[in-house]
Amino acid sequence: MHSSNDFLNILFHRGLTMIESSAFELMEDLATIRHSKLLLQKLGTAKFGPPTDAQAAKLASIDNLDRLDRLAMRLLKVDSWDALLKGR
């Protein structure tokens, strides 16, 4: 019979393997993208007011983390949702 320390050791090492897996990285990326969209919507709403349905849909459709990062920086320079979401 294994001790609880043996069990924890096995569980810990399996967890490290999972963290290094591409599936875990994908889940982490998806969570980061979701958080970035929520943060952009909150900050944009504070600066410009609520987005229209079309503007909210456009933001929701962006799944590229680099683009979301660029939008976050651009948020500091523009004065409307349309200006923020135009182009690439």
Note the pLDDT of residue 76. 95
Cβ count near 41 (within 10 Å): 17
Please tell me the total count of domains within the chain.
1
Give the domain range for residue 63.
4-85
Residue with tokens 């969209």: 37
Look at residue 8 and tell me whether its pLDDT is greater than 80.
no
Indicate the pTM of the whole model: 0.73
Q: Taking Cα atoms as reference points, which of 54, 72, 76 lies closest to residue 64?
A: 72
Helix (H/G/I), strand (E/B), else coil: 86: coil
In whole angstroms, how large is the CA radius of gyration of the chain? 20
What pLDDT, in 10s, does the model give residues 26-79?
888 999 999 999 999 999 999 999 999 999 999 999 999 999 999 999 999 999
* Percent of the chain at pLDDT exceeding 70: 84
